[in-house]
Chain A
Amino acid sequence: MNLLEIKNLKMDFGTGADALRAVDGVSLTIGAGETVCLVGESGCGKSVTALSIAQLVPMPPANYVGGEILLNGRDTLKMSNSELRGIRGGVVSYVFQEPGASLNPVFRIGNQIKESLKLHRPLGAPFSDPARSGDANEPGRRPALQNYNNEIIRLLKLVGIPAPESRIRNYPFEMSGGMQQRVMIAMALASEPKLLVADEPTTALDVTIQAQILELLHDLKQRLGMAILLITHNLGIVGDMADRVAVMYAGQIVELSPAKELLRRPLHPYTKALINSVPKLAGGASRLSAIPGNVPRIGNFPPGCRFAPRCPIARPECSNAIPELVEVEAGRWVRCPFWK
């Protein structure tokens, strides 16, 4: 059984005539310990899809009109609020884009990590999680916590924060962006989740720190055996991190493929255009290549293939019907009949 199975998820913002389809038939699976990248331009529905896993999109305006999100075989769309609270931070943890904004400015970071521990691993309680019971050889399973402070320090060490004993008393504004993101990751790991959703975790950081954070995530994944759903619009980090990549465009997955193959030989014209638009250091002073046109606005999608107006290989029949996501080679799915 896969850890996460999103099946044909459809989500609107608003209802009735005003409904705007933000996620349109997204299907995605993540196995235990797997890293999947979700790539796409801003506004294509990546973040909303990821937040939907733990039902974190406010409802209303969000309105799920179809599909299911199976986490450990149970549909989170049908869970009660208390079940969802157990899932959030317990099975799925989130790390967001701007670490400075994700930490509450008025509390010391130690207290914020403690909040996560209190919620999911209260003192003295044996570490039992309904989603994991029956799995006695759980690698993350450990005896009940006796002391929050020691565990907070252990977590801060785990994410590579120096002198954690004194850092515990820092306020978020006293830390650099990279350090803040490490604290966020420590909070996310406090409950030893099975799936870590990292929503553009490095976008707000400068390049050298980006590499450190990604390396940290990669390293933690190997050690703790958790799966990662990494959302990014930076194809540069995909090759280092991901096992598989899903490329999203205008609320739909247009290509789903093992990471190495996708980068070596993209199939969908949108993926090709994305890879071409990554600036290259070598190659002299050529113009930056960009994809012509803009991402269609939600609710204002063109008929048929949504990429057709910007597509270099578009044909008249592209505007007739939305193409299906088809498996064209083993493990490679493409939403374009003319990919060859």
Chain B
Amino acid sequence: MNEATPIQNPTAEQPLSPWQLFWRRLKRRRIAMAGGMILIGLYLVALFAGFIAPYHFERQDRDRFFHPLLWPKLSGFHLVVPRYEAGDGSFVYHPVAGDTKPLRFFLRGDKYKLLGLVPATVHLFGTGDENYPVYLLGTDQFGRDVLSRLLYGSQISLSIGIIGILLSFTFGMMIGGISGYFGGRTDTVIMRLCELIMSIPALYLIISLRATFPPGMSSAQVYAMIVIILSFIGWASMARVIRGMTLSLREQQFVLAARALGQTHLKVIMRHILPNTFSYVIVAATLSVPYYILGEVVLSFLGVGIQEPNASWGNMLTAAQNTEYLRNYPWLLAPGAAIFVTVLAFNFLGDGLRDAADTKS
């Protein structure tokens, strides 16, 4: 079979994909990039929490409740950790002059599992002596290192946002796509259901849903429950927006063209309609992650989320409810600062993504 005549000279350069163009526009937005960098840093730290944390999150130091921040000092060319002593049992600590221990790196300490899989004992820093602890963020009311708990807690608090988004957005996109694509009665039923869920105040819904789960669950079960509860509430708003976008996308000719090729309805939705909503979905997902992080915080703060002794940013803040604690031991608010930074970083990144996805600007 001979070929038809080519209509112009061949061009062979590789063009930029839409994603590459998107990346170019995103790179120009400094605040968004800063947000992204902060998030990458936070997630890396969360991934290697066991290694970076000097102690295990459950380790209690019965001699040092509410110990204030304890930072290593520079002595000559070495970092040394000073020793503090409690005065008269009233949680007031004084440094013991001249009594120091050098700070060591990559030393053996509490057991943990690297990435949740590999058993390991090496920690980034520490002194290796129980009498000379390093408490960069102080200790809590049980004498546990706040920094270590913050790091372990970030594993739960940061991952819950991502997993929750994956779950609720997958669900919301599928439901919204089906609703908008088929229209008619399907659409009406699904949209009224969404409105029903959205019309109940979220906090009441969270708490009443929590009541449907039995008490005394393991921490893994509680984690799954929080994800399920937050996703159950979150899918509805996503479904509504995707449904709206699908309503306009389904009128596009490429949908008819795909149908004319003999594609099934479901594949048309999955392959042709939903990918066209991705630029919106990615932005919306980035901007909604904080909602899930805060949701976990709220549940744990109310005592129905992650249970002690496991650490999450929410249940760490529970200790900071007490005004006396807050006044005297303000380092207990450290998880609040972590939440603040994370949420802000997600919002900066999300705003940047939105601007980069909007090609009209």
- Chain A positions within 8 Å of B, measured between CB atoms, are 54, 56, 60, 84-90, 93-94, 96-98, 101-107, 115-116, 119-120, 157-163, 166, 169-171, 174, 178-179, 184, 187, 212, 216, 219, 223
B110 to chain A, nearest CB (A): 49
Residues of B within 8 A of A115 (CB): 258, 261, 263, 271
Within 8 A of A (CB), among B211-260: 252-254, 256-260
Within 8 A of A (CB), among B7-49: 7-15, 17-18
Stretch of B58-66, B272-280, B319-327, B340-348 on the interface side: B272-280
Cβ of B1 under 8 Å from chain A: yes
From the candidates B1, B6, B271, name the one contacting A162 in the complex (CB within 8 A): B6
Residues of A within 8 A of B258 (CB): 104, 115
Cβ of B3 under 8 Å from chain A: yes
Q: A160-B4, A163-B11 are in contact. Are A106 and B18 (CB under 8 A)?
A: yes
B4 touches A219 (CB 8 A): yes
Residues of B within 8 A of A89 (CB): 260-262
- Bound-complex Cα distance A103 to B275 (A): 13
Residues of B within 8 A of A159 (CB): 4
In this complex, what residue of B is CB-closest to A85?
Answer: B262
- Chain B positions within 8 Å of A, measured between CB atoms, are 1, 3-15, 17-18, 184, 252-254, 256-264, 271-272, 275-276, 278
- Bound-complex Cα distance A106 to B17 (A): 9
A171 touches B17 (CB 8 A): yes
From the candidates A54, A96, A158, A179, name the one contacting B253 in the complex (CB within 8 A): A96
- Bound-complex Cα distance A105 to B19 (A): 12
For this complex, 16 residue pairs linking A to B, each with C-beta atoms less than 8 Å apart, are A84-B262, A93-B261, A101-B253, A102-B256, A103-B254, A104-B272, A119-B262, A157-B3, A158-B1, A159-B4, A160-B4, A162-B6, A162-B9, A170-B15, A171-B18, A219-B4
Q: A159-B4, A162-B6 are in contact. Are A169 and B257 (CB under 8 A)?
A: no
A293 to chain B, nearest CB (A): 30
Residues of B within 8 A of A158 (CB): 1, 3-4
Q: A98-B253, A101-B252, A171-B17 are in contact. Are A162 and B8 (CB under 8 A)?
A: yes
B119 to chain A, nearest CB (A): 44
List 19 other contacts, CB 8 Å, given A85-B262, A88-B260, A96-B260: A85-B263, A86-B262, A88-B259, A94-B257, A97-B253, A102-B253, A102-B254, A103-B257, A104-B254, A105-B254, A119-B261, A120-B262, A160-B5, A162-B7, A162-B8, A162-B11, A166-B13, A187-B261, A219-B4
- Bound-complex Cα distance A223 to B276 (A): 37
B140 to chain A, nearest CB (A): 50
Q: A106-B18, A163-B11, A171-B17 are in contact. Are A88 and B4 (CB under 8 A)?
A: no
From the candidates B12, B259, B276, name the one contacting A105 in the complex (CB within 8 A): B276
In this complex, what residue of A is CB-closest to B5?
Answer: A160
B260 touches A54 (CB 8 A): yes
- Bound-complex Cα distance A212 to B8 (A): 12
Residues of B within 8 A of A174 (CB): 15
Q: A85-B264, A106-B276 are in contact. Are A163 and B18 (CB under 8 A)?
A: no
- Bound-complex Cα distance A174 to B3 (A): 23
A182 to chain B, nearest CB (A): 8
- Bound-complex Cα distance A163 to B8 (A): 10
A166 to chain B, nearest CB (A): 5
B155 to chain A, nearest CB (A): 34
In this complex, what residue of A is CB-closest to B261?
Answer: A89
From the candidates A54, A169, A178, name the one contacting B14 in the complex (CB within 8 A): A169
B260 touches A90 (CB 8 A): no
From the candidates A85, A93, A104, name the one contacting B276 in the complex (CB within 8 A): A104
- Counting from the closest, the 4 A-B pairs by CB-CB distance are A163-B10, A160-B4, A162-B6, A88-B262
Which of B6, B10, B253, B275 is packed against the most chain A CB atoms within 10 Å? B253
From the candidates B5, B6, B7, B275, name the one contacting A106 in the complex (CB within 8 A): B275
In this complex, what residue of A is CB-closest to B3?
Answer: A157
Residues of B within 8 A of A161 (CB): 6
A173 to chain B, nearest CB (A): 8
- Bound-complex Cα distance A184 to B44 (A): 46
Residues of A within 8 A of B260 (CB): 54, 56, 88-89, 93-94, 96
Residues of B within 8 A of A54 (CB): 260
- Bound-complex Cα distance A111 to B147 (A): 50
- Bound-complex Cα distance A174 to B12 (A): 12
A107 touches B275 (CB 8 A): yes
B262 touches A101 (CB 8 A): no
Residues of A within 8 A of B15 (CB): 169-171, 174
From the candidates B14, B261, B264, name the one contacting A166 in the complex (CB within 8 A): B14
In this complex, what residue of B is CB-closest to A92?
Answer: B260
- Bound-complex Cα distance A87 to B262 (A): 7
In this complex, what residue of B is CB-closest to A94?
Answer: B260
- Bound-complex Cα distance A179 to B262 (A): 23
- Bound-complex Cα distance A104 to B260 (A): 14
Residues of A within 8 A of B272 (CB): 104
Residues of A within 8 A of B7 (CB): 160, 162, 178-179, 212
In this complex, what residue of B is CB-closest to A105?
Answer: B276
In this complex, what residue of B is CB-closest to A97?
Answer: B253
B22 to chain A, nearest CB (A): 11
Q: A119-B263, A170-B15 are in contact. Are A56 and B256 (CB under 8 A)?
A: yes
A61 to chain B, nearest CB (A): 10
B1 touches A223 (CB 8 A): yes
Residues of A within 8 A of B11 (CB): 162-163, 166
